[in-house]
A and B are shown apart, each in its own frame.
Chain A
Amino acid sequence: MILLRVENLKKSFGGLVAVDELSFEVLQGEILGVIGPNGAGKSTLLNLITNHVAADGGNVLFSGKELTHLPRHKIVEHGIARTFQALTVFSSLSVMDNVAIGQASRVRTRLGERLKEFRFRGESERKKDIFRKKVEEVIDFVGIDRRKANTVVAKLPLLDQKKVAIATALASEPKLLLLDEPLAGLNKHEADDLLEEFRKLKSSGVTIVLIDHNLEAVMSICDRILVLHFGTLIMNGSPDEVLQSKKVSEVYLGV
Chain B
Amino acid sequence: MKKGRLFIALGIAAGIASIPAIAREDTVHLIVVTGIWIIVTSGLNLLTGYMGHVSFGQAGFFGFGAYISALLSKMGLSVWLSFPISAMVTGAVGVLLGLGILRLSGAYFAIGTLILGEVLYSVYYNWSPVTGGYMGLMNIPPLGFELPFMGEVTFSLVHWFYFVNLVLFLLVIFMRKLVRSQFGRELIAIRQNESLAESLGVNVKARKLQCFGISCLLAGLGGAFYSHFMGHVSPSSFAVGRSLEFITIVIIGGLASLIGPFFGSYVLIIMSLYMEFLGAWRMVVYGLIIIFVMMFARGGIVSAIEKCFGVELRR
Contacts and interface: CB of A to CB of B under 8 A. Distances in A.
Interface of A: 50, 52, 71-73, 76-77, 81-82, 84, 88, 90-93, 97, 100-107, 109, 111, 114, 117-118, 131, 168-169, 172
A109 B201 contact: no
Contacts of A168: 200
A56 B202 CA distance: 26
Given A100-B182, A109-B182, A93 B188 contact: yes
21 contacts: A50-B199, A52-B195, A73-B198, A73-B202, A76-B199, A76-B201, A77-B201, A84-B196, A101-B185, A101-B186, A101-B197, A102-B201, A103-B182, A103-B201, A109-B203, A109-B207, A111-B210, A114-B178, A117-B181, A118-B177, A168-B200
Given A88-B193, A90-B193, A92-B192, A73 B204 contact: yes
A101 B198 contact: no
Interface in B178-221: 178, 181-183, 185-186, 188-189, 192-193, 195-205, 207, 210
Contacts of B196: 84, 88, 90
A118 B175 CA distance: 12
Contacts of B189: 90, 93, 101, 104
Contacts of A172: 200-201
B220 to A, nearest CB: 16
A103 B189 CA distance: 12
Contact of A76 (B178, B182, B200): B200
Contacts of B197: 101, 104
B185 A97 contact: yes
Contact of B200 (A102, A114, A118): A102
B240 to A, nearest CB: 30
B193 A104 contact: no
B185 to A, nearest CB: 6
A84 B195 CA distance: 11
B interface: dominant SS: helix
A118 B188 CA distance: 21
A107 B199 contact: no
Contact of B186 (A50, A104, A117): A104
Contacts of B185: 93, 97, 100-101
B205 to A, nearest CB: 8
A-B residue pairs, 9 tightest by C-beta: A105-B201, A76-B201, A104-B202, A104-B201, A72-B198, A101-B189, A107-B182, A90-B192, A73-B203
Contacts of B203: 73, 104, 109
A169 B196 CA distance: 11
B183 A109 contact: yes
Contacts of A82: 199
Interface residues of B, number: 24
Contacts of A117: 181
A92 B202 CA distance: 18
Contacts of A104: 182, 186, 189, 197, 200-203
A14 B116 CA distance: 37
Contacts of B178: 114
Contacts of A90: 188-189, 192-193, 196
Interface in B148-184: 177-178, 181-183
Contacts of B205: 71
A114 B183 contact: yes
A82 B204 CA distance: 17
Nearest to B214: A111
Interface in B198-248: 198-205, 207, 210
Interface in B48-72: none
A101 B210 contact: no
A109 B199 CA distance: 17
Contacts of A97: 185, 188
A73 B181 contact: no
Contacts of B192: 90-93
B179 to A, nearest CB: 12
A90 B185 CA distance: 11
Contacts of A107: 182
Nearest to A103: B182
A242 B220 CA distance: 65
Contacts of B183: 109, 114
B251 to A, nearest CB: 18
A156 B312 CA distance: 22
Contacts of A111: 210
A153 to B, nearest CB: 11
A93 B196 CA distance: 14
B146 to A, nearest CB: 29
Nearest to A168: B200
Nearest to B207: A109
A82 B201 CA distance: 10
Instruction: Please indicate which of the listed interface residues B177, B189, B201 has the most CB atoms of chain A within 10 Å of its own CB.
Output: B201
A114 B199 contact: no
Nearest to B174: A118
B1 to A, nearest CB: 19
